C-alpha cells in the first residue's frame, strides 16, 4: 500500500517535471535521445561539452569554405555569425536567440543542409542532441 | 542685407540639392528593385544571401532557379514541394518581365527574351554597372561574394541599389 502510494506520487511528480520542461525544443531533444539510445544502448544523455567540441572541430569531408560549424556561426555561439554570401546570422545561443530551435522541421532542415556542408554527411542524433545541448547552455 | 540673405540662399540651395537627390533615390533612378515582401520567400530565399528582388531576373530564370534547388550554385537549397510551388509563383509574378513591369527593365538590357540567365551578376547590364569595382574590393573580407549586395549597397534590403 505504502509502496503503491509512493509509486503514484513519484510518477505524478515525474509527469509534472516533464510538463514543466516540455516545449518544442525539449520534445525534439527527447526524440534525438530516443534515436541515440536505439543505436547506442550505452547512451547516457547529451553533453554540452561534446557539443562544443563538435562546434569547433574542423572537418575535411564537407565544403572547403565551411570546415566547421564555427565557420558561419562564430566560435562563440553568443556572437553573431555570417554566411559565405555575407548575411548576418543571429547568435546560435538560446540565451540570445530564445525563439531558436522551436520549429522541429526547421531544425531538421538546417541540420541536414549544414551537416552536409560541414561534415559531408548527415549528423547523427547524438551529434544533433549534443550540439543543441551546447547552444541551449550558452 | 546682402550678407543676411546669403545663408538663406545657401540653405535653399542645399535643400534643393537634397530634394533632387532624394527624389532620384525615391524614383530609384533605375536602381530601385522592390524587395521581397512574402514572408515565406524572405525566409527561404533570404537565409543564406540577400533575398534578391524578383524584378532582377526574367520569369524564365526564376523557373530555372526553382527547378534546380538541389544544386543551387553548389548548395542544396531544396524546400518541400508545396513551399517551392508558392515561392516559384511569387517570383514569377514579380519577375522583371512580367506584365510589362518597368522595374528591372534596365537590368534586362542585352538579355535575349529566350534566355534564362541564372546569375544576376552575369547580366550584361550588371557587369557594366560594376566594371569600375576593383578586384581587391570583391575579395575584401566584408564582401567575399558578388552575391553580397548589401556590403556596398547599404539600402539593398529595402530595394535601393544606388551607390
Kindly provide the ipTM of the predicted complex, given to two decimals.
Answer: 0.77
Q: Does the beta carbon of B40 lie under 8 angstroms from any beta carbon of chain A?
A: no
CATH class of A23-137: mainly alpha
The domain in which residue B75 lies consists of: 32-158
Residues B94 and B145 in one domain: yes
Residues B76 and B36 in one domain: yes
pLDDT tens for B104-127 read 778 999 999 899 999 999 999 999
Residues B78 and B150 in one domain: yes
**pLDDT given for residue A22 in this prediction:** 78
Task: Tell me how far apart the 2 most distant CA atoms of chain A are, in Å.
Answer: 66
| Domain range annotation of chain A | 23-137
Residues B73 and B19 in one domain: no
Residues B36 and B55 in one domain: yes
Residues B48 and B2 in one domain: no
What CA–CA distance (Å, rounded) separates B65 from A99? 30
Chain A residues in contact with B52 by the CB 8 A cut-off are: none
The grid cell for A118 is: 560541414
Mark which residues 112-151 of B lie under 8 Å from A by CB. 142-145, 147-148, 150-151
Which of the two residues, B141 and A16, has the higher pLDDT score?
A: B141
What is the distance in angstroms between the Cα of B47 and the nearest Cα belonging to chain A? 7
What CA–CA distance (Å, rounded) separates A107 from A97? 14
Q: Is residue B133 part of a domain?
A: yes
Going from the C-alpha of A5 to that of each of A11, A16, A17, A19, the distances in angstroms are 10, 16, 18, 21
**pLDDT given for residue B101 in this prediction:** 72
Residues B5 and B75 in one domain: no
The tens place of each residue's pLDDT in chain A, 138 residues long, gives: 466 666 555 554 544 444 446 799 999 999 999 999 999 999 999 999 999 999 999 999 999 999 999 999 999 999 999 999 999 999 999 999 999 999 999 999 999 999 999 999 999 999 999 999 999 999
Q: Is residue B163 part of a domain?
A: no
Q: Yes or no: say if B137 and B143 are a contact pair by the CB < 8 Å rule.
A: yes
Residues of chain B with pLDDT > 90, as a percent, come to 71
Number of independent structural domains in chain B: 2
Q: Give the single-character DSSP code of A92.
A: S
Residues B63 and B139 in one domain: yes
Amino acid at each position: 500500500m505504502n509502496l503503491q502510494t509512493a509509486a503514484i506520487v513519484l510518477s505524478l511528480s515525474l509527469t509534472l517535471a516533464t510538463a514543466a520542461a516540455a516545449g518544442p525544443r525539449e520534445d525534439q531533444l527527447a526524440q534525438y535521445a530516443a534515436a541515440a539510445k536505439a543505436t547506442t544502448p550505452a547512451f547516457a544523455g547529451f553533453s554540452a561539452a561534446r557539443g562544443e567540441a563538435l562546434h569547433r572541430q574542423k572537418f575535411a569531408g564537407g565544403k572547403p569554405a565551411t570546415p566547421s560549424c564555427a565557420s558561419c556561426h562564430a566560435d562563440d555561439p553568443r556572437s553573431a555569425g555570417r554566411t559565405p554570401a555575407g548575411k548576418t546570422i543571429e547568435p546560435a545561443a538560446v540565451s540570445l536567440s530564445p525563439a531558436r530551435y522551436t520549429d522541429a522541421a526547421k531544425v531538421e532542415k538546417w541540420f541536414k543542409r549544414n551537416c552536409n556542408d560541414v561534415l559531408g554527411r548527415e549528423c547523427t542524433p547524438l551529434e544533433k542532441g549534443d550540439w543543441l545541448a551546447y547552444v541551449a547552455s550558452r | 542685407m546682402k550678407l543676411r540673405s546669403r545663408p538663406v540662399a545657401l540653405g535653399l540651395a542645399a535643400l534643393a540639392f537634397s530634394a533632387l537627390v532624394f527624389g532620384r533615390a525615391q524614383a530609384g533612378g533605375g536602381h530601385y528593385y522592390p524587395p521581397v515582401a512574402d514572408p515565406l520567400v524572405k525566409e527561404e530565399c533570404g537565409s543564406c544571401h540577400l533575398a534578391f528582388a524578383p524584378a532582377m531576373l526574367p520569369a524564365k530564370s526564376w523557373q530555372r532557379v526553382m527547378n534546380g534547388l538541389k544544386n543551387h550554385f553548389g548548395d542544396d537549397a531544396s524546400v518541400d514541394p508545396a513551399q517551392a510551388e508558392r515561392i516559384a509563383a511569387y517570383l514569377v509574378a514579380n519577375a522583371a518581365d512580367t506584365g510589362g513591369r518597368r522595374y528591372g527593365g534596365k537590368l534586362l538590357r542585352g538579355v535575349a527574351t529566350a534566355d534564362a540567365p541564372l546569375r544576376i551578376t552575369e547580366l550584361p547590364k550588371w557587369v557594366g554597372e560594376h566594371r569600375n569595382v576593383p578586384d581587391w574590393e570583391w575579395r575584401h573580407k566584408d564582401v567575399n561574394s558578388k552575391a553580397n549586395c548589401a556590403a556596398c549597397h547599404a539600402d539593398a534590403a529595402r530595394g535601393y541599389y544606388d551607390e
